[in-house]
Structure 1
């Protein structure tokens, strides 16, 4: 049979390190886990800490847009500007909620955002 030592090594039962019982630790497992977390946070360079902690950043709009594309809502062009499916849904909602003024406001907002990029 095998035993796992505190440092993570897997050894046989008859190994002398297994026979010598470690001294009873006064530290709880929670404190040890906190030490590990603290050590991991301290070893991550500051520039990479945000990427490691949060992973790749995707906005909710990117996720919704990808869902709409997978459902089959097409991307269409308005002159030289590609209109993503999430923008099309926004146009439809603005017409439904605010009428023609909402459509004008969303169109203005669309062109301001695209022109600023």
Structure 2
């Protein structure tokens, strides 16, 4: 059995943003795991995430050069789970709670990761 985090990263490497869903409860799960946290259901399957979401909370990491500043944001995914990422495509101070966003997979170094842009 592949560890859930490794499987999630493999999907990202293929350009797919996937999250888990319980077959029995329909509940969506993020961060990848072996059981649904609320119910303990172990029948998780991988499904395509819509990529839609909204900013739940945001902070700005300020750098000496303001052009290097970036956001750290909690994003409420349309499917229900919340994930931590960043919002690109806006000045850090323009990212506000409630902002509709869309996921993008980018590669930094040799690692694919999910970031969000304004929807």
TM-score range relative to shorter protein? under 0.3
Q: Which is greater in Rg?
A: 1
- Provide the TM-score with structure 2 as the length reference: 0.20
Of structures 1 and 2, the one scoring higher in RCO (CA 8 A, sep 6+) is 2
Task: From the two aligned structures, give the one with the greater strand fraction.
Answer: 2
More helix per residue: 1 or 2?
1
